[in-house]
């Protein structure tokens, strides 16, 4: 059974769901394609009315959506509420700005007139992860529905109720049947969807392995794709950093969502001058986190999403230690029901250690001490990933200079605030390609058509 709701706080099974059959899947694809033939001709105002209503429903029922998320994937309730609100903000943002983002662009050829116009591509297949079960959906649904596309979505197997709730949200908001369809399908059926000629584009957020598989399948079918994959973001602390301001972001950056965030701070690269002070304070702060029921407002450390996720992380820590790393803090499963892991700090990680290359998707921080700015940049760039990163310094101009030297899709100076619908999100290298959110996010799956006019004489 692939689709199961299991409470990460205590391991109890809540509900199970069967896969769709192939005949049911074909009906869903046919319905989506028929919907597209109408939806693409609707005006921006009509599309926006649906998205605005969906945003209003999210904002009006924050607690209901958040509670379901906490029970299904273990996110602490305050964090879940924040995700629900942000998801509504994304939908409202595209409802307001999509028309201007996709307005024709005038060009200026030497003779005649020309412009670029945008039109929807059609039926899109989206494969989304469990760690942000509403936000991940909102950031594809908002821009692409407003662009005139329609979506069929395979959500993660451990959050089926969140997936169903989001589909119902859009239907309740007035979206026509077929505009957004949740698919309870297998990985083999996903290949079937990608191969279907009615599907015109593929978007995935997930692991590098999933990205390789889905991108290859899309490529074989000559279909446009976007990939938002993993990250191993550097948190670079310079010698003039204000640790009083830096430390709260260090803790949040590693421990938000129990560390299960692609753009989380994962590699802490600290200059010698402040390394001892930073490490001592960081260790004390992480050690003070208290595990508990994520529905309890007082809990500061929630569970991981699944038993498999916990076991994988514990295996990575064991491999790191066998490779010569030292566990400064934690490293073990917490002896209580549910899927809890101790906040963990690894040090003494040499380049040959698997921990040097791996992404730790959970409450595990890797600590590196460096001598110079150049050493920090070299270490930050010595990664297969390139999603995001941050620089911490009291000299903002210095921070921006260093940020420009780090090979990533996103960099932050004295913050890690990526929660803004206006800002494009995405990476390079093994972190994927393409962008979501902002003005760029709505451009990924639209046809940019050149139209040139004018009575131009044919060449003689």
Give tens-digit pLDDT for 20-67: 999 999 999 999 999 999 999 999 999 999 999 999 999 999 999 999
Cα–Cα distance, 211 to 206 (Å, whole number)? 7
Q: What are phi and psi of 6, to 5 degrees?
A: -125, 130
Cα–Cα distance, 229 to 262 (Å, whole number)? 7
In a domain, 425, yes or no: no
Handedness of CA 40, 223, 260, 4 (dihedral sign): positive
Number of domains in the chain: 2
- CB count in 10 Å sphere of residue 103: 13
Which CATH number goes with the domain that contains 355? 3.40.309.10
232 pLDDT above the threshold of 70:
yes
Verify that 215 and 245 share a domain, yes or no.
Answer: no
In a domain, 114, yes or no: yes
Verify that 404 and 435 share a domain, yes or no.
Answer: no
What are the angstrom distances between the C-alpha of 185 and each of 21, 169, 277?
8, 20, 50
Cα–Cα distance, 379 to 367 (Å, whole number)? 12
The closest of 58, 260, 86, 72 to 161, measured between CA atoms, is 72
Note the helical H segments in 40-159.
Answer: 44-60, 62-73, 77-101, 135-146
Q: Provide the 8-state DSSP code for 340.
A: -
In a domain, 242, yes or no: yes
Verify that 184 and 262 share a domain, yes or no.
Answer: no
In the prediction, which pLDDT does 1 show? Answer: 54
Which CATH number goes with the domain that contains 164? 3.40.605.10
Give tens-digit pLDDT for 393-437: 999 999 999 999 999 999 999 999 999 999 999 999 999 999 999
Verify that 207 and 287 share a domain, yes or no.
Answer: no
Cα–Cα distance, 218 to 195 (Å, whole number)? 8
Task: Specify the DSSP element, H or E, that contains 233.
Answer: strand 233-237
Question: Mean pLDDT over residues 194-215, rounded?
Answer: 97
Verify that 216 and 67 share a domain, yes or no.
Answer: yes
b/e per residue 370-382 (b: at least 16 CB within 10 A): beebeebbebbee
206 pLDDT above the threshold of 80:
yes
Handedness of CA 266, 269, 273, 276 (dihedral sign): positive
Show the tokens assigned to 359.
Answer: 């992404």
Note the helical H segments in 365-429.
Answer: 373-381, 396-405
The closest of 2, 35, 40 to 18, measured between CA atoms, is 2
Verify that 328 and 250 share a domain, yes or no.
Answer: yes
- The C-alpha R_g of the chain, in whole angstroms, comes to 23
326 within 8 A of 346, measured Cβ to Cβ:
yes
Verify that 239 and 265 share a domain, yes or no.
Answer: yes
Give tens-digit pLDDT for 303-346: 999 999 999 999 999 999 999 999 999 999 999 999 999 999 99
241 pLDDT above the threshold of 80:
yes
**Residue 401: which domain range?**
233-413
Residues noted as catalytic:
228, 262
């Amino acid at each position: 059974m692939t689709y199961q709701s299991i409470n990460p706080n205590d391991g109890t099974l809540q509900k199970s769901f069967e896969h769709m059959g192939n005949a049911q899947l074909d009906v869903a694809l046919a319905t989506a394609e028929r919907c597209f033939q109408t939806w693409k001709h609707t005006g921006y105002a009509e599309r926006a009315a649906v998205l605005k209503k969906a945003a209003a429903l999210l904002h009006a029922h924050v607690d209901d959506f958040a509670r379901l998320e906490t029970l299904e994937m273990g996110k602490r309730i305050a964090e879940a509420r924040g995700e629900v609100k942000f998801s509504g903000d994304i939908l409202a943002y595209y409802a307001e700005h999509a028309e201007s983002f996709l307005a024709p662009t005038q060009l200026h050829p030497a003779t005649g007139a020309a412009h670029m116009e945008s039109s929807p591509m059609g039926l899109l297949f989206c494969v989304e992860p469990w760690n942000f079960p509403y936000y991940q959906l909102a950031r594809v649904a908002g821009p692409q529905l407003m662009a005139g596309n329609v979506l069929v979505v395979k959500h993660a197997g451990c959050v089926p109720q969140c997936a169903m709730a989001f589909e119902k949200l859009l239907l309740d908001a007035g979206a026509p049947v077929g505009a957004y369809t949740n698919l309870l399908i297998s990985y083999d059926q996903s290949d079937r969807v990608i191969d279907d000629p009615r599907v015109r584009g593929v978007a995935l957020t997930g692991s590098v392995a999933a990205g390789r598989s889905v991108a290859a399948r899309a490529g074989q079918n000559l279909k446009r794709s976007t990939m938002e994959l993993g990250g191993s973001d550097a948190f670079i602390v310079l010698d003039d950093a204000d640790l009083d301001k830096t430390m709260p972001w260090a803790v949040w950056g590693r421990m938000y969502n129990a560390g299960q965030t692609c753009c989380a701070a994962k590699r802490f690269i600290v200059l010698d001058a402040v390394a001892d002070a930073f490490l001592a304070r960081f260790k004390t702060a992480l050690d003070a986190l208290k595990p508990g029921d994520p529905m309890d407002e007082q809990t500061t450390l929630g569970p991981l999403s699944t038993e498999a996720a916990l076991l994988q992380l514990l295996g990575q820590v064991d491999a790191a230690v066998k490779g010569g790393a030292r566990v400064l803090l934690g490293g073990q499963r917490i002896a209580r029901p549910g899927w809890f892991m101790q906040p963990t700090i690894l040090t003494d990680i040499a380049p040959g250690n698997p921990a040097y290359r791996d992404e730790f998707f959970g409450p595990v921080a890797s600590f590196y001490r460096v001598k110079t700015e150049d050493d920090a940049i070299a270490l930050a760039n010595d990664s297969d990933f390139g999603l995001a990163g941050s620089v911490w310094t009291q000299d903002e101009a210095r921070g921006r200079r260093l940020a420009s030297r780090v090979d990533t899709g996103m960099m932050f100076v004295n913050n890690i605030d990526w929660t803004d619908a206006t800002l494009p999100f995405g990476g390079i290298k093994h972190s994927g390609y393409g962008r979501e959110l902002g003005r760029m996010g709505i451009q990924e799956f639209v046809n940019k058509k050149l139209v040139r006019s004018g009575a131009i004489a044919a060449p003689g």
